[in-house]
Amino acid sequence: MIPYFLHLAWTTLLAFWAERRAMPRFAAIALAGILILSLVLFAGLRAVPVGADTIAYVNRYEYLVGNGLVWDADGTAEVGHKLLFAIARLLSDDWSVALIVTSAFAIFFYLRAITRLAASRAIAIFTFIAFGYFVFHMNGLRQGIALAVYLNALPALIAGRPGRYAFWAILASCFHITAIFTLLAYPLLRERFSARAIFLLLTIGAVALIGLDAVFGLAGLANERYESYAERTETGGALLALFYGTMSVFFIVMRPIIRPQWARAYDVFLLMLVLGATIHAMVSATGIYIEISRMALYFHAGMIFLWPIAILSLPDRRSRAYMLLVMAALGGAFYFVYLREIGNLIPYQTA
């Protein structure tokens, strides 16, 4: 577990250092490059036992190599994932190259979204890692990539551009088909935050989840190996529902102090978090198809961007420093539990 926390501390330090306004442009670019390499290589150079699904992807890649194939014509993965594997095959027969290529693709889109949306990139990078989004793609690689792509739909969601939002959602579904269902959330997430919006979100969200329960079961959209994920157990699902529900309440309480220039984006991210918490709560309370809970990932990821806005909206440096400490403690505790419980992440080993 120590390598994960050292990596978290290192990347966060680099991010805060690169964000300093007095930093010369060349130095800032160099630091950003080191940060990107730190993220890509930490994930891409992992050994086969690290991550629940890593062995399946490595075995598939070795199957392609062994049969002299570039394109995985008979595989069941989405076309986007097949394309990334084809690129890796053109570069090397080494499966580590495949993991590096896929991780680099995911990190590019994660950082693209953070750069465009985060009130503080450094705080967002900390939340991105500490709250499990970075290491998620080391478990469920395809959905981790889909999330990275989907986050780039959020500027269009905030601006009210349904066509561009649909483009990114459909592109994300090329890496994991579940992302296509984020199209259904567009009208709900465009609501102004209010009691009415929360009621609509809870009511329509609950009805939609029951419908998706049947769709997922019939379509077989959840056949990846998630056996060791905590969401598989009732206790794990309940704890996640409690955590995201508590975070929703916290950010609702913080909403009155949010600065006007961030208010609209904050409402969108907050509704996303509430929807993600609702999905976890529904799965935990009703026992509907457990894999529905993976839909929550696309929405509670709004928390990546809520923390920077909430912290920077505080009125003075002392209160901001205090809230940073709260975030760091909460993030560290969550990361500790996440690493212990989710997806064979420890011990970390390199290839």
**For residue range 238-287, what is the model confidence (pLDDT) as tens digits?**
788 899 999 999 999 999 999 999 999 999 999 999 999 988 888 777 76
Q: Specify whether the CB–CB gap between 91 and 32 falls below 8 A.
A: no
Question: Alpha-carbon distance 2 to 328, whole Å?
Answer: 16
Which residues contact residue 308 at a Cβ distance below 8 angstroms, ignoring those fewer than 6 apart?
Answer: 118, 119, 120, 123, 124, 127
What is the rounded distance in angstroms from the CA atom of residue 222 to the CA atom of residue 303? 25
Contact 117, 154 (CB under 8 A): yes
Tokens 């014509």 belong to residue: 73
**What stretch of H or E contains 299?**
helix 297-300
302 secondary structure, DSSP code: T
pLDDT digits (tens, 9 = 90+) for 238-252: 788 899 999 999 999
Average pLDDT, the chain: 89
Please compute, for residue 341, the number of CA atoms within 13 A of its CA located in the half-sphere on the CB side: 16
What are the tens digits of pLDDT across the range 156-197? 999 999 999 999 999 999 999 999 999 999 999 998 888 888
What integer pLDDT is reported at residue 329 of this predicted model? 98
Chain centre distance of CA 224: 18
